[in-house]
Amino acid sequence: MIAGAASAEGASRAVFRLAESHLWRLVTTPYAITETVRNLAEFPPQATATWLQLRSQLLIVDDVLTIDKPAVFPVEKDRPILFGALASADVLLTLDRVDFRRVIGSRFYGLEIITPGMWLSREREAGRLDRV
């Protein structure tokens, strides 16, 4: 969401742009929104203005802070992101290759964790995406 707001030329913004026409439902949590708003302070004001527009496309579901499954995930701050996605989504899109390095490109209890670019590429290869 940070990258989607900060750059019009990235895969993240493309996911927002293409979501409605491709019937992708974009889901987030209050925790992720707080994180986005806090970090957008590092960018020019236009990024926050864009974020307010992108935000209207998001379905906001409750934060999930614990799960009833064993979860060995070293970064405490990313657990709400991971658990929220596990509860409400099929795929978690993230650019955070540092904190999610052990799980990116793989699955967490069936939840796929990939980058926005990997998502677009996969949809393209599957013939579900004509133009980006």
**Minimum CB distance to other proteins smaller for 74 or for 110:** 74
3-state secondary structure of 7: coil
Instruction: State the nearest-atom distance from the C-beta of 11 to other proteins, in Å.
Output: 4
Q: What's the rounded Cα separation, in Å, for the pair 25 and 17?
A: 12
Residue 56 found at the interface with other proteins (CB under 8 A): no
At residue 28's C-alpha, the angle toward residues 25 and 29, to 5°, is 150
Q: Which residues 35-54 are close enough to bind other proteins by CB under 8 A?
A: 35, 38-39, 42-43
Instruction: State the nearest-atom distance from the C-beta of 23 to other proteins, in Å.
Output: 19
Q: Which of 1, 6, 27, 113 binds other proteins (CB under 8 A)?
A: 6
Nearest to 15 by CA among 108, 109, 124: 124
3-state secondary structure of 115: coil
Residue 120 found at the interface with other proteins (CB under 8 A): yes
Nearest to 95 by CA among 34, 6, 18: 6
- Footprint of other proteins (CB under 8 A): 2-3, 6-7, 9-12, 14, 31, 34-35, 38-39, 42-43, 63, 65-66, 76-80, 95-99, 115-118, 120-121, 124-125, 130-132
